[in-house]
Structure 1
Amino acid sequence: MSLNLPARRLVQTARSTTPSLHLRYLLPHTQQRSISWFNWGKSSNKQSPLTKELDKRDQQKKIFDKMQNRTAGESVFDEEIKQSDAAAADSASKPELGAGRDVGGLSKAKEHMARALDPDPRWRIRWQRRKVMQMVRSGGRMTKEQRIRLTEKELTLKSENLNTSYKKLMFLTRQISGKTLDDALTQMRYSKKKTAPEIIYLLKEARDRAVVSRGMGLGKVNGDTLDKTRKIQTKDGKWIEVRDPTSLYVDQAWVGIGQDRGLRIQYHARGRMSKMVKPSAHLTVVLKEEKTRLRQFDEKVQKEAKAKPWVHLPNRPVTAQRQHYSW
């Protein structure tokens, strides 16, 4: 089956008016290539990538100049702004040096710097006022918890929801709680449980964050190593030897219930059914340094030394005693 219209008349009609979708393929088409490799078949009247980059730099320079001119009143960064303007003038006078540099930068206007450094000034003022009131009430004295926070470091890290139940995850937390970080990693490395690799990943991430962000575990660098090995007793009654007071250990590890991952129907006899929920759980670990256990052991020894001897029958007067029954 062929089309009855002549080809010449069809082409003239298509050129004069907009062709329909089923006749558009009959129009003559010439393939064109532009500078970009991805623009084959498109028009070459568009700007080249080099021209676009130059226009973008000019636009960034206009925005940067506009933001710098908005500095209201005296500013701390007036000298730096003048230096940057002088550097920009030098780079403009020497195009061979400033041609390859990026014009864009951060604004040093007073209102912009205030938004970045002090986004909520009213909250900061209330917080400072509350802290001053606390210091005045206490007379400048710090509590025991505040002194411990100033001298000892710790890190708390929580994992994402794991594809397991909190009952199964609880047994793994008991294996790592109270152990050194190396022993906890060894326990999870040789564990046959499915969630053990997830705990290894969490412990390694907590170790890296503690070293980088808190400066923990750097006793050999800071010179905090002990002269001799100390033998202390942990909370669970085990005796361990401590050589480096800044080495990391897992102080606490607990499990929380996460969101349900879905449910499915479980069918029973006599046409009954129930739903089975796929649970999830998350793990939280607290890493501390060995100096914390050294302090706790010393406090325990001092408390036992100050305790009075236990007396089975204390020497006190007997009261509320009668010779006969009261009934």
Structure 2
Amino acid sequence: MSLHLPARRVASSAVRTSACKPTLHLQQHLLPRTQRRNAGWFGWGRGRGSSEASATSPFAQELTRREREQALAKQNMDRTQGASIFDEEIKDPERLQRQQQQEERETAGPMTASRVREHVERAENPDPRWRVRFLKKKVMQMARADPARPLPREQRIRLSEKRHASASPPLPTSTKKLVHLSHQIVGKTVDDAIAQMRFSKKKMAREVKWQLEDARDRAIAAHGMGLGSSSSSSSSSSSSTSTSTTTTTQEDDNNNNNTNKPRKIQTKDGKWIEVHDPTTLYVDESWVTKGPWRGARVQYHARSRMSMMWRPTASISLVLKEEKTRIRQHNEKVEAQAKKAPWVHLPNRPVTAQRQYYSW
């Protein structure tokens, strides 16, 4: 079956056009060309031959010259780039620090805390000069106070007595086990408590012993506690002076001699002890607190049941004081008992609201 006549004419015309070459005018339009916009004096490409005229204009030549200069400068910059012996001196330290903080912030993520030194210091001590201002404020208050008016009892105790508090890191044990060691050392001197922990069979005894030694060293270094009384040196120096001493120095010598003598005092537990040096350190308070969980494991039960067993942690806190605190507490207790009025079994008071008949 043959094609229709219009279809044959179209096919024959397509064969003839494919066999012959396109004209020169068509070749100029069919060849690949790079489109470019040139500046002209009378608009962009108006009229015939405007592209050739705009390409040869002085403004277009100036643009092409600038482009060549920019390309040459970029090539020279690329050629000089690379590692150099002056790179470390040229780099900005602040810029590097900002980049490092940005990298740490990106790697840390939104849920983890920042480990940058400035952030850690700001979190641990938000106001570094708070204690300085607080002490200055207290000194100003004492200076403005009336000299004839005595200080409150709590301030007098803080000025005359010292204390040091410390807490251990979370230990891999429970409060039920650690509380027995805490009860064992409270009320004892630091040396006796260390001896108790040294010969104890408990596993956490060595951790408590290390905490006692650390608290003792920090109390000596930070507060000057447990250095011994200077009464012996003061008494020897006062004896070498001339006999024309005042009554105040004689009273001070008497007080020093009294402090040198061993004293028997009663503790809060009701035990009687003998104190030779009022600066001896002892454990005034000791308590145990819970810490974060350190892990968990599965505990299997009957009938395909199970539960989680959490591994606990505990921390022990200590408060160290000097024996002069217990001496003061004993003296206050004795004075309070001496001031107490005698107990009367039946006080002499009038009997009122009594009836002579029964009320039923």
Alignment of 1:124-139 (within 5 A): none
TM-score by length of 2: 0.53
- Quote how far apart the aligned CAs of 1:153 are: 0.3
Q: How does 1:66-77 map to 2 (within 5 A)?
A: none
Q: Deviations over 1:178-201 (max 9, x none)?
A: 011111111111111010000000
| Residues 178, 250 of structure 1: 8 Å contact kept | yes
Q: Which one-letter code corresponds to 1:214 in the other structure? A: H
Matched residues in 2 for 1:285 and 1:271: separation? 46
Q: Match of 1:202?
A: 211
For this pair of structures, how many residues does the alignment match? 218
Report the RMSD for the aligned CA atoms in angstroms.
3.5
Taking a change above 3 Å as real, the CA distance of residues 302 and 163 of structure 1, as seen in their structure-2 partners, is same
- The structure 2 residue matched to 1:180, chosen from 172, 189, 192, is 189
Measured in 1, the distance between the counterparts of 2:177 and 2:229 equals: 38
Whether 2:199 is the aligned partner of 1:166: answer: no
Instruction: Using the aligned pairs only, state the percent identity.
Output: 53
* CA distance, structure 2, for counterparts of residue 213 and residue 122 of structure 1: 19
Residue pair 1:262, 1:277 contacting (<8 A) in 2 also: yes
SS at match of 1:219: coil
Match of 1:142 in 2: 151
Q: Which has the higher helix share?
A: 2
Residue in structure 1 matched with residue 325 of structure 2 by the alignment: 292
Shift of the 320–283 alpha-carbon distance from structure 1 to 2, 3 Å rule, reads: farther
Contact 1:249 1:290 in 2 (8 A): yes
Which amino acid is the alignment partner of residue 338 of structure 2?
A
Q: 1:177 is aligned with what amino acid?
A: V
Larger-gyration structure (1/2) = 2
Residue 219 (structure 1) aligns with: 228
Q: Distance in 1 between matches of 2:128 and 2:278?
A: 40
Is the CA contact (8 Å cut-off) linking 2:260 and 2:277 kept in structure 1?
A: no
Q: Secondary structure at the match of 2:303?
A: helix
1:237 aligns with 2:270: yes
Question: CA, structure 1 residues 123+252, in 2 after alignment: closer, same or farther (shift >3 Å)?
Answer: closer
User: Which whole-Å CA distance do the structure 1 matches of 2:211 and 2:130 have between them?
Assistant: 38
For structure 2, list consecutive stretches of 5 or more residues without a partner in the other structure. 1-82, 94-126, 233-255
- Which one of 291, 315, 321 corresponds to residue 282 of structure 1? 315
On the 8 A contact 1:135/1:141 being kept in 2, the answer is: no
Partner residue in 2 for 1:112: none
* 1:212 partner letter: A
Aligned mates of 1:326, 1:273 — CA distance in 2: 69
What per-residue deviation string (whole Å, max 9, x for no partner) do you get for residues 112-157 of structure 1? xxxxxxx788998899779868987999652111110000000000
Q: Letter of the 1:260 partner, please give it.
A: W
TM-score scaled by length of structure 1: 0.58
> Are the structure 2 counterparts of residues 324 and 132 from structure 1 closer, same or farther at C-alpha, using a change threshold of 3 Å?
farther
